[in-house]
Structures are given as structure tokens and as C-alpha cells.
């Protein structure tokens, strides 16, 4: 048992990644961001699908070859297919953005 909203340091320079549970095919993790974004020119290109849910805060995702930025706020989720290139354009700088990510 645990809470996605607890045990978060008051200050952190890098995004925090905590694996909640995993099996051979699925990894569930909590990601905590605050003003973090993908490095300029960097694109995630993952072998697995990724389902993300924003629990707290907000974020903007950029999907390669799409004009709009997908804005996520608390309760919003997005499914990213395997090998769909994407990047985090921004996360809220005023509070933590807490993500629940499921890699499958």
C-alpha cells in the first residue's frame, strides 16, 4: 500500500521516478516533475506502449508530426503507442506534477 501524493522531497533538481510495481511485461511508476521538460531536440522513442495519467499539476506533451501540444491536467490521461516519438514540452513550475505511468 502507498500513496502517489506522499514521500515527495520539498526540493529536487531532476525528475523523480519511482517504480510502484513491475512484472515481465508491465512497469507502473510514479513520476514527479516540477518545471521539468525534455531536453531541446530530444524525443522519447520507447519499445513499449505508455499510458500516462496526471494526478496533480499539469503538463504539455508534444507528439511528433502533430501541430498541437496535448495539455494534461489532474485526471487527464493519454495513451502513447510504442515507437510514437514524443517529448514533454513543459510541466507546472508552481507545483509538482505527479504522473502515474504504465509501460506495457
**The domain that contains 33 carries what CATH number?**
2.60.120.10
Q: Which domain holds residue 54?
A: 16-103
Sheet strand arrangement including 50-56: 16-22, 27-33, 97-103, 50-56, 77-80
Domain assignment of residue 37, yes or no: yes
- Give me the DSSP letters along 1-42: ---TTSS--S--SS-EEEEEEE-SS-EEEEEEESS--PPTT-
Tally of domains within the chain: 1
pTM of the model: 0.92
Please indicate, yes or no, if residue 24 is contained in any of the structural domains: yes
> What whole-number distance in Å separates Cα of residue 88 and Cα of residue 90?
6
Instruction: Check residue 36 and give its pLDDT.
Output: 97
- Asked if residue 36 belongs to a domain, the reply is yes
DSSP secondary structure letter of residue 10: S
pLDDT of residue 80: 98
* 2 domain residue, yes or no: no
Q: Does the residue 57 lie in any domain? A: yes
55 falls within a domain = yes
Residue 53 lies in a domain: yes
Residue 99 lies in a domain: yes
- Running along the chain, 104 residues long, what does each successive block of 10 average in pLDDT? 93 94 96 97 97 98 97 98 98 97 98
Q: What is the pLDDT of residue 10?
A: 87
Amino acid at each position: 500500500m502507498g500513496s502517489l501524493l506522499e514521500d515527495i522531497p520539498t526540493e529536487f533538481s531532476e525528475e523523480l521516478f519511482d517504480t510502484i510495481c513491475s512484472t515481465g511485461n508491465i512497469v507502473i511508476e510514479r513520476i514527479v516533475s516540477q518545471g521539468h521538460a525534455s531536453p531541446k531536440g530530444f524525443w522519447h522513442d520507447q519499445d513499449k506502449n505508455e499510458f500516462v495519467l496526471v494526478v496533480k499539476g499539469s503538463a504539455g506533451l508534444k507528439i511528433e508530426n502533430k501541430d498541437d501540444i496535448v495539455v494534461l491536467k489532474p485526471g487527464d490521461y493519454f495513451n502513447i503507442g510504442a515507437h510514437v516519438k514524443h517529448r514533454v514540452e513543459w510541466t507546472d513550475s508552481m507545483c509538482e506534477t505527479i504522473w502515474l505511468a504504465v509501460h506495457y
